[in-house]
Structure 1
Amino acid sequence: MADSTTSSLNLSTESNQVVAEDARKIQIANQATADDGNLTQIIFMDPKLYVAAAHGDIHVLERHDIRVQRTPKKNTVLHVAAQFGQADFVEKILKLPSLSSLLQHHNEKGDTPLHLAVREGHLTVVKNLIHAAKKLGEEDTERGAAADWKVMLRTTNNEQDTALHEAVRNHHPEVVKLLIQEDPDFTYGANTEGNTPLYIAAEWGFGDLVQMILDNCSSPAHSGFSGRTALHAAVILKDPAMTKKILEWKPALTKELDKNGWSPLHFAAYVGCHPTIVTQLLEKSDTYVVYLGVKNHGIGNRTALHIAASRGHVEIVKLMVSHFPDCCEKVDDEGNNVLHLIMPEKKIFLTSGLSNIPWLRVRGLTYEKNGKGKTPLHLFHNSIIPWEPLFKLTWDTLLGLRVRPSEFAISYRRKRSSRIVSMRPLGSLEIKEDSGTKKVNKYLKLRNNESHMIVAALIATVTFAAGFTLPGGYIQNESNNQGLAVLSLPTNGTNGKDQVMAFALRENFRIFVMADGIVMFAFYVRYCCAVSFFIA
């Protein structure tokens, strides 16, 4: 009796669990149906079906209704098979009746099965999907063959990415070539980030894809992040081959400006491109681009020459001055000319050959005052002295700069806050100013150095006094030996033990004088170095 009662209870419990599970499935299905906006009831995909689609097990298809089953991201079984590259499985699904609608089905992120196949680089699956779309169009005489498969190629997801965007971003050359060949006349627009396929290829440094797009697309779009073009991206990456290819395709891109008003030439000056790239840009650019002023680190009206000078890119400065000598006359909003920006770096200016360029030696530039009343020579005097190249300078160089040698030798440290400049590839320009604490530390360090100099002077005084005070003293009486050290006299006239002792004292005195002289010379050298360091 007890056993039958227990069995009844167990059966009742199992029945309740089954009912609850069925109710949960119905609730999930209804929710999925409501989210999908379709009257067809949607249920979560059976795990066995998911695994079969991922592994390409075709026989499982017969035991499931694959039209209504979805993953949590609303991927169909065709999405799953395409994502895992199961070409035969995809082909089998597309041959089944009434499943052609899955070809254009979008998942939660707006991706079609083609998006997923392209993203993973499954070339055969991509071919199967395109072939199925073409065949579907042939069977539907009302829409025409071109309508279905071209619509599928041009379909965008939630990020406004087409299949070509995905293929380029993930660098699948064969897939890119196939997609372009299937629809070469379509101009692929920008996605939500503003990037076109050509710009994405240039941004990531995929020179082979840039070549492929330019050679096969009829009219590719070139816009990208923050209003930049594919040429901006190639220049920022310092890629001469890519830059040359884009310039040959469309030279007019040299005058395209981004949202901040920067041309490719300005970016080349900022990042320090090879002179080959700068030469290409100068030869293709309109003249006004060279004189175009932009805002750089909060200071407006800076030309590409100003930017190159402030960044210490000497070769670019030389190149631009050689092509456009009068661009040296341009000043920024603070009144700085090219010498104001590069002169503080003495080591760069004096050792790079810039001081030998006639356009940079005229008094109109060296004596021109900026908004703070400072000339380039003021900044030259108040900058850090690089002592190693200091002694290599010739008088001709100093006189050529109209600098008095006495002024040059007593220059002091320039009082300025250090700036840490960073640039993310294709990102915004950033400058981080040092905090006021660092300025205080510099001031305390300078005062500490002054204290050390006073102590060093006192030690030097004592050392020199001790060096000239010899043991035994000097001969004081008026004779021919007056002023000589007592222990330096000859030992003639002494006999026996006194003679031996006198000889030993005289020899020891000679050793003492030699050692004393060496110590004095070493201290003199050390003292001179200390004074030089303090001045620097």
Structure 2
Amino acid sequence: MLRKSRSPTRAAAEDGCLTKITFMDPKLYVAAADGHIHVLEQYDEIHVQLTPKKNTVLHVAAQFGQADCVQWILQLPSPSSLLQQPNEKGDTPLHLAAREGHLTVVKNLINAAKQLQEGDSERGVTAICKVILRMTNEDQDTALHEAVRYHHPEVVKLLIQEDPDFTYGANTAGNTPLYIAAECGFGDLVQMILDNCASPAHSGIKGRTALHASVILNHQAMTKKILEWKPALTNELDEKGWSPLHFAAYVGCHPTIVKQLLEKSERYVVYLGVKDHGNRTALHIAASRGHVDVVKVLVSHFPDCCEKVDDEGNNVLHLIMPEIKIFVTSGLSNIRWLRVRGLMNEKNVEGKTPLHLFHTSPLSKDDNNIIPPETIFTWILDTLVRLGIRERSSRVRMRPLGSPEIKEDSGSSERKESFTLPGGYIQNESNNQGMAVLSLPTNGTKGKTETWQLQ
């Protein structure tokens, strides 16, 4: 038989090493990892031997899923100390077993804790079990954090059932088990936690909640489940002032998610600007990123949110106009809340209207622009003429000439009115001096534009 009278740790110290070195007998390590109990039986005081990370023989057996070996080790003297002994990183054997997803090992460790008694009280038995379930490592992760992170559903369910009333807090990164599950997209674990934990914590990194995480992933089922559990999370802001609705606008969530958020949110959230993002609302964010479906949902539920401007004085049309192709082809241009003259003519802090921004955008000069210039111009014309010339009748005809002009049949010699389309105009040096000219790119013809006149 192999009998060791002293551990490698003590031997290193006695030899005068400046740094305390720990290492486990290789045969002992392999025996624990492979589950060779007959080899373990040849060693005295195996519980004192440690690996460089301060793992005990129970850590090794638990990490490699050797359930029988774990059971045998726990029958040795002082099993309580082995169950609760952390390694260099603060991990207990239960942490390692949960991280690797070894369900039987987790059961053995929990059952061993239940069988241990402090005195004769049943309370002592319960206490030992809960101690190891709630122990945290140096990252403040419990075994449940680990099982959730690496998606071990059966282990997660067992750990929760053993201590359902405990509120598992945030680790050093600020993440709770529920948030980790949501952030990783583990909808099954989110549901498991919500269905079995009495009052799960929901916080996550940077002040976000599990709802933020599910929205960022555009996960419909998970978002619905969280909203059913705690609808008030729609009003929670992260440390930079972003609500779940803002993130939905940013990532371009499915309209179903946006509608669900709107149904549960306090109304002020729709009009709330993000300070570190130019004080832009969810509508501004969706518009600037070209998320048409989100824009449609927002303005259909809260039409007056179109009136909000960001810190630069930009309204929703300022932000969407550089993507005029999306704006026209998506049907946004047909939404009456977005067709009012006040929005189209509104100037930002630089004195520019939405059409200024369209005229200066790369898209307006894009040779591959698939939208015929007459289509864009027709929309601009229709919007401004329909809403701008009140009760007077107009004769409107479009043809490629020199300058756009609107002539009115007023039935009298009253002065003629003309529209100055901002941003798209140049001064004509011809007979119509001072009138406006709108230059639009000609499809497929590099460097060429067409000018259109309204007559």
The structure 2 residue matched to 1:340, chosen from 315, 318, 329, is 318
| Amino acid aligned to 2:12 | I
Tell me, yes or no, if structure 1 residue 165 matches structure 2 residue 145: yes
Question: 2:177 and 2:38 mapped to 1: Cα distance?
Answer: 39
Checking the alignment, whether the CA contact within 8 Å between 2:22 and 2:54 is kept in structure 1 is no
- 1:73-108 Cα offsets, whole Å, 9 max, x none, are 110000000001111111111112234311111100
Which residue in 2 is equivalent to 1:376? 354
2:25 is equivalent to residue 46 of structure 1: yes
Gaps of at least 5 residues in structure 2 are 1-5, 386-395, 405-420, 425-441, 451-455
Is contact 1:255-1:263 (8 Å) kept?
Answer: yes
Matched, 1:292 2:276: no
8 A contact 2:9–2:49 mirrored in 1: no
Structure 1 SS opposite 2:47: coil
Task: Call closer, same or farther: CA 1:391–1:32 in 2, change over 3 Å.
Answer: farther
1:28 aligns with 2:12: yes
Find the aligned partners of 1:120 and 1:407 in 2 and give their Cα distance: 73
Q: Of residues 189, 202, 226 in structure 2, which corresponds to 1:222?
A: 202
- Residues 508-529 of structure 1: CA deviation (Å, up to 9, x unaligned): xxxxxxxxxxxxxxxxxxxx98
Relative to structure 1, the CA distance from residue 395 to residue 199 in structure 2 (aligned partners, 3 Å threshold; closer, same or farther) is closer
What is the letter of the counterpart of residue 533 of structure 1?
G
- Corresponding residue number in structure 2 for 1:93: 73
The structure 2 residue matched to 1:181, chosen from 161, 168, 172, is: 161
SS at match of 1:188: coil
State the alpha-carbon separation in 1 of the partners of residues 55 and 269 from structure 2.
50
Indicate the residue corresponding to 1:78 in structure 2. 58
Aligned-partner SS, 1:144: helix
Separation in 1 of the partners of 2:220 and 2:323?
A: 29
Correspondent of 2:280 among 302, 310, 315: 302
In the TM superposition, what is the alpha-carbon distance from 1:400 to its structure 2 partner? 2.0
- Offset at residue 381 of structure 1 (A): 2.7
Q: Distance between the aligned counterparts of 2:371 and 2:338, measured in 1? A: 20
Q: Taking structure 1 as reference, are residues 145 and 338 closer, same or farther at Cα in structure 2, changes over 3 Å only?
A: same
Paired residue type of 2:341: R
Cα distance, 1:203–1:348 mapped onto 2, change above 3 Å:
same
Structure 2 counterpart of 1:146, from 126, 129, 133: 126
**Aligned residues: CA RMSD:** 3.0
Judge conservation of contact 1:343–1:376 (CA < 8 Å) in 2: yes
Compared with structure 1, are the counterparts of its residues 139 and 57 closer, same or farther at alpha carbon in structure 2 (3 Å cutoff)?
Answer: farther
> Are 1:107 and 2:91 matched, yes or no?
no
Number of aligned residue pairs: 394
Q: CA 1:323–1:26 in structure 2 vs 1: closer, same or farther (change >3 Å)?
A: closer
Q: Shift in Å at residue 201 of structure 1?
A: 0.2
Higher relative contact order (CA 8 A, sep 6+): 2
The alignment-based identity, stated in percent, is 72
**SS where residue 263 of structure 2 aligns?**
helix
Q: Is the 8 A contact 2:182 2:190 kept in 1?
A: yes
Q: 1:127 to 1:139 in 2, by over 3 A?
A: farther
Letter in 2 for 1:390: P
Q: What is the CA-CA distance between 1:533 and the residue it aligns to?
A: 2.9
Q: Which residue of the other structure, out of 305, 321, 324, is the alignment partner of 2:299?
A: 321
Relative to 1, partners in 2 of residues 1:361 and 1:90: Cα closer, same or farther, differing over 3 Å?
same
Q: Aligned-pair distance for 1:56?
A: 0.7
SS of the counterpart of 1:171? coil
Q: Which residue of 1 aligns with 2:213?
A: 233
1:533 paired to 2:451: no
Q: What residue identity is the alignment partner of 1:28?
A: A
The DSSP-based 3-state class of the residue aligned with 2:30 is: helix
Partner of 1:426: none
Which position in structure 2 is the counterpart of 1:56?
35
DSSP 3-state at the match of 2:116: helix
Kindly provide the CA deviation profile for residues 195-232 of structure 1, in whole angstroms up to 9, marking residues without a partner as x: 00000000000000000000000000000010000000
Distance 1:401 1:103, change over 3 A: same
Contact 2:22-2:52 at 8 Å conserved across structures: no
Query: For the residues of structure 2 that align with 1:183 and 1:111, how far apart are their CA atoms?
Result: 19
Letter in 2 for 1:388: I
Match of 2:174 in 1: 194
In 1: Cα distance, 2:7 partner to 2:228 partner: 66
- Aligned partner of 2:370 in structure 1 is 388
Contact 1:381 1:407 in 2 (8 A): no
User: For 1:24 and 1:313, how far apart are their aligned partners in 2?
Assistant: 63
Counterpart amino acid of 1:54?
A
> In 2, Cα distance between the equivalents of 1:173 and 1:257?
30
Cα contact 1:321–1:328 (8 A) shared by 2: yes
- What amino acid does structure 1 have at the position aligned with 2:246? H
The verdict on how the C-alpha distance between 1:77 and 1:26 changes in structure 2, with shifts beyond 3 A counting, is: closer
Distance 1:326 1:33, change over 3 A: farther
Give the 3-state SS of the residue equivalent to 2:275 in structure 1.
strand
1:237, distance to aligned residue in structure 2 (A): 0.2
Q: What is the distance in 2 between the residues matched to 1:368 and 1:124?
A: 67
1:43/1:68 contact within 8 Å kept: no
How far does residue 25 in structure 1 lie from its aligned partner after superposition? Answer: 6.9
Among 219, 226, 245, the alignment partner of 1:265 is: 245
- Cα separation, 2, equivalents of 1:111 and 1:56: 21
1:379 CA displacement: 1.6
2:341 counterpart of 1:363:
yes
Q: Confirm or deny: 8 A CA contact 1:67 1:99 kept in the other structure.
A: no
How high is the TM-score relative to the length of structure 2?
Answer: 0.80
Instruction: Report if the CA contact (8 A) 1:270-1:311 is conserved.
Output: yes
The structure number with the bigger radius of gyration is 1
C-alpha spacing 1:91/1:233, structure 2 compared with 1 (3 Å): same
Change (3 A) 1:389 1:321: same
The alpha-carbon distance between structure 1 residues 164 and 394, as it changes in their structure 2 partners (threshold 3 A), is closer
TM-score normalised over the length of structure 1 = 0.69
Structure 1 position 535, deviation (Å): 3.7
